[in-house]
Amino acid sequence: MSSRFVNPFTDLVFKIIFGQPASKDLLIILLNELLSGEYHIEDLTFLDKEDRSENIHDKGIIYDL
């Protein structure tokens, strides 16, 4: 029997795992581990990643952080 895994560090899979408010606790744990005690994150807020222009002639912006 072979098992299949996905790489959690690809952009799409990372966003599915960590980029949703439902996975906020997991993201906080990951970030705190990466910061190695230098800083400590207690809470975070998910913001809309799209900046929709009010002018129909302007292009919108999508932030991918």
Taking the chain (65 residues) in runs of 10, the rounded mean pLDDT of each run is 78 87 94 91 85 68 68
Specify the number of domains making up the chain. 1
Residue 1 is assigned to a structural domain of this protein: no
Q: In the block, which residue shows the tokens 């072979």?
A: 2
CB contact at 8 A, 50 and 62: yes
Q: Residue 52: inside a domain, yes or no?
A: yes
Parent domain of 31: 11-62
Q: Is 46 inside any structural domain? A: yes
Q: Which residue has the tokens 């997991």?
A: 26
Residue 37 lies in a domain: yes
- Asked whether residue 5 is assigned to any structural domain, the reply reads no
Bridge pairing between strands 50-51 and 61-62: antiparallel
